[in-house]
Chain A
Amino acid sequence: MSAVLGYEPVRDGEAPGRIWIDEPGAHRLSPACKDELLATLHDLRPPKGARLVLFGADVATLGEAERAALRRRVGFVPANGGLMSNLNAWENISLPLAYHAPRRLPEALREVRALLDEVGGVGEELLAKLPEHMALYERRLAGYVRALLEAPELLVLECVGAGLGPTKRRRAARFAEVYQARRPGGTFVQLDA
């Protein structure tokens, strides 16, 4: 029960696919139950017909306050980046900070610029773009940088490299390395199709 992330779908008494991550580090998985896990991770509601374990706790046994506390420890970036369509990249990236810790915003801007340069290979002009004008990689990068600013203990990314060209795919492959440099002891999970 001490898994960082565990997901066991149960249908008719059988467990057709199972994810069980005991140790921190970078993990790349292609589970059969990816879509179900992602749907569950999206709002951390107790799954039906499955068991979700996070940091050793069965989510179904937790109250709303405890689940809210868990949400602070988990970052999640869906394949489309999970951006708000009417906000530009900077507004999207800074939204959680502006909401929960507005005093960190000035330092966050410097951090974001450095991250975009180091990880993304894209210039600062990305920050002014609306999601509809961003390429798929840029949307994922913005979602990733947003998650990184909160330095979660567990960061789950959906289909990081899918649909990207070779150059962008190589850049996206560095997401795990950069996360671990910023969050030693954290768990990075990449879920592929």
Chain B
Amino acid sequence: MIEVRRLVKNFGLKVVLRGLEFHAEPGEFVALLGPNGAGKTTFLRILASLSRPTLGEVRLAGFQLPSQAAAVRRILGVVSHQPLLYGDLTAEENLRFYGRMYGVSRLESRIADVLEMVGLSARRRDLVRHFSRGMQQRLAIGRAILHDPEIMLFDEPHTGLDQEAAAMLDGVLREVAAKGRTVVMTSHDLARASELATRIDILSKGVIARTVTRQELDPAALPALYRAVTHG
């Protein structure tokens, strides 16, 4: 589903990704861990077609980036740590806007379904400006699944959420992943990552330094492993 080979990304003279290799099968839930500045967000932005690779090959669902970016965007849902929502519009107006941008048909019923799924049906007519951070994140996920994408990218979605909101988010994430979608999620939260993911990749110094699948992994050993890989 996702194929990345020898990915290099420079910003001017600063090299962030150095020949990164990555692979994800349909239906996998990959948690991408790594220290700040390792390049997680950069990598995710490249997958999201928001940033161009300097060198290397990136394919999502067989489409190549950046040349076939439009095709990729149709099947992609992205949740970043900014909500990407318009504060002066209501929840349903936000969804309606994005629905029209993506050309989603039977839009009204789809909006109702999505609001139901993220637990915001009661607040559909409220301005997003008045939403808590947790609610905004949930609506952001709703926005991302509106067009039923096959691939989902989450950039540290639990940032700024309290325990309750984070737990709610996990519920939504599981439901999203259960539909057979391919998910890549970056995170700082080792415990959450090992709970949700089928596979854990550790990004360090611009490459994927280590990969462990859920079967191989002992959640208790993860922190030590993480430390070893990132400081090695």
Do A and B belong to a common assembly?
no
